[in-house]
Chain A
């Protein structure tokens, strides 16, 4: 990352206020995703000289007139040879207001799984549309996937406005159609921005061609969108990761429970319940390397000690007052199948949910969703990139929330015990 002309004083204030925003881009092949990311990096001065020299040389070699900014996000050798992006790559840049992590997902037909993967950690998704083409099947799919994975903010980037004479009417028509579709999925928080990634209009700078548009350019929006409430701030959830037992003279009786607060907050003296056992105790100390705290909030990593000695191990969940998780051995979930090997209903799998790993099997396939039409179909098998509603049974009870209430306690991955591969992503609903 780099920011020009900051005094060290300014740099310091930056590090004390900058937040972290994770976003992804989604679009069909050739909608201009790579160009847009290149433009963001270039115009925010996050491109280094040696990187720029490398892509200038490549552009020249390929006989291009201008430097092709999309080359910046080119990843691995094999892909470079094939000329397409086939995986998720992460980029970093920062402005004085925020640090950004971009999950770059390919627009290729087959890669539902990559988008789901990248979306799972994102605060925001930028969905690209080519202004000449308007809404496509892929646009619907990407929007559905974003809503399935619960990405909190959506930006619709109507790109290549230069190819439609920067027409406000064209933009408005696309926006109207998109909003109508998004409303069907229950999405209302959409920001629509017209732009030309190629010329740079409305990416970092306003430019002069889109003066009828009164909103902020993309970067300004990304810098200012409020993300504080993207995590559940009310319900305390603390999955125990690690039991800290120093067994030294000084800390002879110390028994701490280390983990990350996934949602809500906790204070010394608060009563907590340990799930699934249901036993209770009080928080005695909130221990960190930098000293004990009186209160702590998501997403801090801390170590808690309790007033009572109760049997607790990795995989247990601490909760406190308010809305309680469900504790059950059977639940329904939306599943995205990620593996080339199809689901086998006769087999047992493993699921990892928060810090707990248990055996499971699929007792029923309710339906498969056609990601293009959103229609539900009967299903007897699941293949890579399929999305389906399933009923799952687990060997030991899990304490969980619905995914739309709590991303951390409502999500899980499915692992194939034979190959050890991650074969599916699940959202309890």
Chain B
């Protein structure tokens, strides 16, 4: 390999591996936050590249909203088993039972509460660093976040007092009780992720590919019918070909109409699509231009 055949994906991959190894070497008790989505599946491959032939120097942690698509949970179990790595699952239901999360209606979107269970899990295991698969191209607030993003005791992010990040020398130091969120794929875009999934032939939940699904239309949104979302009186159920661009909470993750059944076809669609990933698929982020930023400050990833 010489400079000429070193592609942008190779460059991004090497950067991400470097970041993961820094975390493993410098942090006392790291964890990899795993959602079952495509970004965290890319993270797993990067961890394999960083640490094989040894095991990962951290467990995988999933904060389960219990609002996940069944295909995602199936994929999570398969991946953890195939990799032979330790998987810790903590559920929002536990926090609800403990009373640390109070919800009005169990069927409403749960993303806002994820941070509570995450913080409880961090405290339970004493994690000082959590690797996450967030990308800077997802949302304006993320564009300013560091790769090593420092959180105070309450899990809060203060955009005004971020540590300067120079070259690729990362400051990993924290005081007791504080922790850092680390985003090794900060510099990847949705297109990079798809190209990498294609190149590495990664196994991802089937709902990322086009499939026939029952949906209802509310306003501009196409909403998947599920055990949590049933048509209201007067709403019509349609069966159309869709795929998901992100796979979050079933009640607020909208699919896009698509016939792309392979990674190549998705790449082609991604190359010509006119809507950002979040704009297309997360109903809860549309409420306010700054809603993600508020949630990050509260400790959401």
Contacts and interface: CB of A to CB of B under 8 A. Distances in A.
A420 B11 contact: no
B163 A421 contact: yes
Interface string A335-354: 00010000000000010111
A258 B49 CA distance: 11
A252 to B, nearest CB: 11
Nearest to A55: B289
A208 interface: no
B187 A18 contact: no
A316 B270 CA distance: 43
A413 B143 contact: no
Interface stretch (A44-52, A124-132, A217-225, A358-366): A44-52
A246 interface: yes
Interface residues of B, number: 76
B265 A15 contact: no
Contacts of B289: 54
Nearest to A293: B1
Nearest to B280: A50
B271 A301 contact: no
Contacts, number: 213
Contacts of B171: 352, 413, 415, 420-422
A395 interface: no
Interface in A34-86: 48-51, 54, 74-78, 80, 86
Contact of A297 (B1, B137, B170): B1
Contact of A289 (B48, B159, B168, B290): B48
A78 B294 CA distance: 11
A19 B7 contact: yes
Contacts of B52: 289
B254 to A, nearest CB: 13
B165 interface: yes
B189 A92 contact: yes
B276 interface: yes
A81 B55 CA distance: 47
A254 B144 CA distance: 41
B99 interface: no
Contact of A51 (B17, B187, B279): B279
A272 B270 CA distance: 45
B247 to A, nearest CB: 20
Contacts of B160: 78, 86
A338 B4 CA distance: 37
A260 B175 contact: no
A51 B276 contact: yes
Contacts of B275: 48-50
Bin the interface of chain A by size: 35 or more
A120 B1 CA distance: 26
Interface in B1-35: 1-15, 17-18, 21-22, 24-26
Interface stretch (A4-12, A187-195, A275-283): A4-12
Contacts of A299: 6, 11, 14-15
A15 B169 contact: no
Given A75-B140, A260-B14, A415-B171, A101 B187 contact: yes
Given A76-B159, A88-B144, A228 B272 contact: no
B40 to A, nearest CB: 18
B206 interface: no
A16 interface: yes
A288 interface: yes
Given A246-B53, A260-B17, A299-B14, A422 B163 contact: yes
Nearest to A5: B272
A241 B18 contact: yes
Interface stretch (A167-175, A322-330, A368-376, A404-412): A404-412
A18 B169 CA distance: 26
B62 interface: no
A182 B111 CA distance: 52
Contact of B53 (A99, A251, A353): A251
A244 B22 CA distance: 13
A87 B144 contact: yes
Contacts of A354: 169
A87 B144 CA distance: 7
Nearest 3 pairs between A and B by C-beta?
A: A50-B279, A246-B54, A301-B17
23 contacts: A2-B274, A3-B272, A6-B268, A8-B265, A51-B279, A77-B141, A77-B293, A91-B137, A91-B143, A99-B8, A228-B3, A251-B53, A287-B53, A289-B48, A289-B49, A300-B6, A301-B13, A352-B169, A353-B169, A411-B166, A420-B173, A422-B163, A425-B164
Interface of B: 1-15, 17-18, 21-22, 24-26, 48-55, 136-137, 140-141, 143-144, 159-160, 162-171, 173-175, 186-187, 189-192, 195, 199, 264-265, 267-268, 270-276, 279-280, 289-290, 293-294
